[in-house]
Structure 1
Amino acid sequence: MDLKESDILGADIGRHWYYRSKARAIAQTLAGFEAQRILDVGAGSGFFSRYLLAHTGAREAWCVDISYEADSDRCEAGKAVYYRRAVEQLDADLVLLMDVLEHVDDDRGLLRDYAAKVPAGSRFLITVPAFQWLWSGHDVFLEHRRRYTLGQLESVVSDAGLRVIGGHYYFGAVLPLAAMLRLVQRLRGPQPPSSQLTRHGSLSNSLLSGVCRVELPFMCRNRVGGLSVFCLAEK
């Protein structure tokens, strides 16, 4: 999760349709798996691991991000959240990499590194932005290296030595709208890099959240398209 985006939304992040919908999709993807200790890599504010602490039986979360100025300890729903600049070995049974791999040159190497830090049987839930043809100034602003197809992400995960359990796209319902906006931007000519994430009023947040919620029951069978790629894997 990018700290630049959490800085834009501030306290409104939990109400924003994109983050609310993605948190629900994460919980849906993990349905039936009861994680106890979460390792959240490139966690930023730790929004997604804190969501899982508040809505599941997970007991604690370790949020790791080199952007933190110092290590700190906090609580979410009465459960411990440890913010760290780095970790060595950790007995975590769930590793989150929420929109992290697209930021690094060696995505396979980063996955191998964190796979070596956790025990066998640990689950990995990975999300990345979908489709290089959706590339825009938003990606430049967030310092992305690339976007992925589902097949490309699954290949990266397998090459890193993890077993792919399943993969799918999400935000398929809003993909046509995003594609149209990208086309309009390109017709306007070059624009300075900037985030396309904006705050929404209660009506638009409710409408977009509702559209994405309809998609949830069918999400895990969507191998066609969406704005995000999800992959669930195991060490």
Structure 2
Amino acid sequence: MDVKEEDILGESVYGHWYYVSKGNVIRHLLKPVAGKSVLDVGAGSGVFSKSLMNHDLVENARCVDTAYEVDEKLESYKGKCIRFVRSVKSADESLVLMIDVLEHVEDDLVVLKYYSDQIPSGGHVLISVPAFNFLWSGHDVFLEHKRRYTLAKLERLVNSAGLEVVKGRYFFGFLFPVVAVIRLIKRALLNAGQLSAKSDLTKSNNFVNFLLIAVHVIELKVLFSVNRIVGLTAFCLAKKP
């Protein structure tokens, strides 16, 4: 996840519509393949690992992030163990999360292979990335993104890493038209020097937050299963042969 956005939202990240909705998608995709443990790459505070634990989809988690201040720290979360580590040299977890990670690295294939090569055969990797380069704006500049992806590009990357695509879909499709217009306007203003780069994600009042969560619950139920056309985020669930 984007650490800069977590810093902006603070503790409200756990109830913010964006992270709640993304967590709903993650659990939806992983429910058929959930296992005992998860390796959460670029995990930040472990928002999504904790979401999986809350719904009994995993029993323990290892969260890795170079932003951590110490090499290793153990935390008990609702009677379950989370290990926070700065790096990983080997992995036996059957499930890897790479949520909003690959867009931050220079060589996304090298990073994806590094983790996918370590997991056992039959293990799964779930990836999410920001979608469509034409949406590039100060939001991406602020978050230090290197690129955005189409679903086809993400799936080619997955195949190049030696993984098999199980399912690829776009999400946040209902918001796409509005956000696309806003991003294009902001990019023009940024290029003209009339706007500074910053994240588009902000704290929401309770009513707006509730409404957006409800909208995306509906999207998950009625659109997600067939949406390979448009969205703000691309998801890919992959399996190691």
Alignment TM class, shorter chain as reference: over 0.9
Give the number of aligned pairs.
Answer: 235
Root-mean-square deviation (CA, aligned residues, Å) is: 1.1
Whichever residue aligns with residue 66 of structure 1, its letter is T
Deviating above 4 A after TM superposition, structure 1's stretches of 4 or more consecutive aligned residues are none
**CA-to-partner distance for each residue in 1:160-198, whole Å, 9 max, x for gaps?**
111111100000011111012113324544322111110
CA distance in 2, matches of 1:173, 1:134: 15
Deviation at 1:31, TM superposition (A): 2.5
Whichever residue aligns with residue 6 of structure 2, its letter is S
**CA-to-partner distance for each residue in 1:44-68, whole Å, 9 max, x for gaps?**
1111111101112311000001111
Matched, 1:18 2:18: yes
Residues 90/187 of structure 1: CA separation in 2 closer, same or farther (3 Å cut): closer
Contact 1:167 1:232 in 2 (8 A): yes
Structure 2 residue aligned with 1:104:
105
The aligned runs of 1:40-51 (5 Å cut-off) are 40-51=40-51
Structure 2 residue aligned with 1:55:
55
Which of residues 234, 237, 240 in structure 2 aligns to 1:229?
234
Whichever residue aligns with residue 63 of structure 2, its letter is C
Contact 1:43 1:64 in 2 (8 A): yes
**CA-to-partner distance for each residue in 1:54-106, whole Å, 9 max, x for gaps?**
11231100000111110211122211000000112221011000010000111
Structure 2 residue aligned with 1:209:
213
CA distance in 1, matches of 2:58, 2:187: 44
**CA-to-partner distance for each residue in 1:140-165, whole Å, 9 max, x for gaps?**
11100000000000000100111111
CA distance in 2, matches of 1:209, 1:132: 26
CA distance in 1, matches of 2:185, 2:211: 23
List gaps (5 residues or longer) in structure 2.
none
| TM-score computed with the length of structure 1 as normaliser | 0.97
Contact 1:43 1:63 in 2 (8 A): yes
CA distance in 2, matches of 1:64, 1:220: 30
CA distance in 2, matches of 1:6, 1:180: 25
CA distance in 2, matches of 1:142, 1:163: 29
CA distance in 2, matches of 1:162, 1:24: 24
CA distance in 1, matches of 2:224, 2:204: 24
CA distance in 1, matches of 2:92, 2:186: 46
CA distance in 2, matches of 1:100, 1:5: 13
| TM-score computed with the length of structure 2 as normaliser | 0.94
**CA-to-partner distance for each residue in 1:90-132, whole Å, 9 max, x for gaps?**
2101100001000011101111111122111110000000000
Structure 2 residue aligned with 1:165:
166
Contact 1:167 1:220 in 2 (8 A): no
**CA-to-partner distance for each residue in 1:183-230, whole Å, 9 max, x for gaps?**
332454432211111000100001111111101123131000101000
Contact 1:54 1:76 in 2 (8 A): no
Deviation at 1:16, TM superposition (A): 0.8
CA distance in 1, matches of 2:176, 2:78: 34
